[in-house]
Amino acid sequence: MTETTLTIRRPDDWHVHLRRDAMLEAVVGYTARQFARAIVMPNLAPPITTIEMARDYRAEIVAAAAAAGHPGFVPLMTAYLIDGIDGAMLARGHAEGVFVAAKLYPAHATTGSAHGVTDVARIYPALEAMERAGMPLCVHGEVTDPAVDVFDREAVFIERVLGQVVRDFPGLKVIFEHITTAEAAAFVESAGPNVAATVTPQHLHINRNAMFAGGLRPHAYCLPVAKREVHRLALRKAATSGSPKFFLGTDTAPHEVHRKEMDCGCAGIFNAPHALESYLAVFEEEGALAHFEGFASEHGPRFYGLPLNEGTVTLERVAQEVPARIEHGAISLVPFHAGQALNWRLV
Ligand code: NCD
Ligand code: ZN
Ligand code: ZN
């Protein structure tokens, strides 16, 4: 059985970095041409910590998407949690339809996390308010303890932080973002229905060897960093299983090429241009095409308590080569799969 086209309900991306200004203008069309909605990460400088900031940022995104030819695109905004943040403000932003969720960045865990949470106890009142308001928590799940090996930071975060948060707030919806380990997949599977995870295309395609293939490969570097092959295989199994706990979140994280290829290169992979085709390749390789629509278009909205999209997108089995570079004015980006062939193409 080799289908030549695949039509699914229009999908959403539950984890994107759209940035701002010229970068936003350069990248938003790639997300908006595939996805009806996207959960937009708040790790800007300065971070999005107030309702007003989120409203302004949302308007910028809507305007940039419209200018790129996608007037219907719906950005779903998130609040950046900081120590002591006011839970009542978060709940109000949620009730007003501005904050769809709030994001926990452990301080210094990743790009744009310098203002993040230094100790999860400092946001416990906010988490209580979120639990009461039915407002989901998105989590970058890594400890920052320098004594913990970088490849173990996600697994240790489950032991030291996330397990406790989930026990202390049994009614809080938690999305364990961009999971990279077998431990994370198992944690999510065994937790209650209020705990889910997003999985990126890169963590389904590459293991940590990709960062060292013949030399240092900055475009395979993101956080959490790719792990051993055994973890990649566990993620593929979880994502393609049909379980409603796992859904699409690309974590597309554009950085200009000169900010990646430098002495201290930025973490983040720009996977938006071919995100759907990249995921679809995995589902096909795993013999799980029947579960692709659930992962891409159904599990996410159901978990967030949002309506499924109307309309469809169609992919056709037509090989395409991913360009080595994507240029927009002065901005130069290297996309995920640069120079490689993909078997499917979004119509
Ligand atoms: C993200 C970014 O560049 O904003 N980078 C990344 O490697 N994933 C931050 C994040 O999602 O952790
Ligand atoms: Zn992250
Ligand atoms: Zn991210």
The finding on whether 236 has its CB within 6 A of some atom of ligand 1 is: no
In a 3-state reduction of DSSP, which class is residue 186?
helix
Could you report the per-residue pLDDT of 42-72, keeping only the tens digit for each?
999 999 999 999 999 999 999 999 999 999 9
Q: Is the pLDDT of residue 1 over 80?
A: no
44 pocket-lining for ligand 1 (C-beta < 6 Å): no
What does the pLDDT look like over 66-79, one tens digit per residue? Answer: 999 999 999 999 99
pLDDT tens digits along 97-111 = 999 999 999 999 999
CB 103 within 8 A of CB 79: yes
What is the DSSP pairing of strand 312-316 with strand 5-9?
antiparallel
In the residue annotation, 251 being an active-site residue is answered as: yes
Residue range 141-163: mean pLDDT, rounded:
98
Share of the chain above pLDDT 70, in %: 100
Per-residue DSSP letter, 252: B
Mean pLDDT over 69-92 rounds to 98
Digit-coded pLDDT (tens) for 201-248: 999 999 999 999 999 999 999 999 999 999 999 999 999 999 999 999
Task: Report residue 79 CA to chain centroid gap.
Answer: 15
The reply to whether ligand 1 has any atom less than 6 angstroms from the CB of 222 is yes
For ligand 2, the distance from its centroid to the CA atom of residue 347, given in whole angstroms, is: 30
- Residue of 149, 168, 251, 263 with catalytic role: 251
On average, the pLDDT of the chain sits at 98
* pLDDT higher than 90, residue 3: no
All residues at 6 or more sequence positions from 253 whose CB lies less than 8 Å from its CB, including other chains? 17, 111, 222, 267, 268, 269, 270
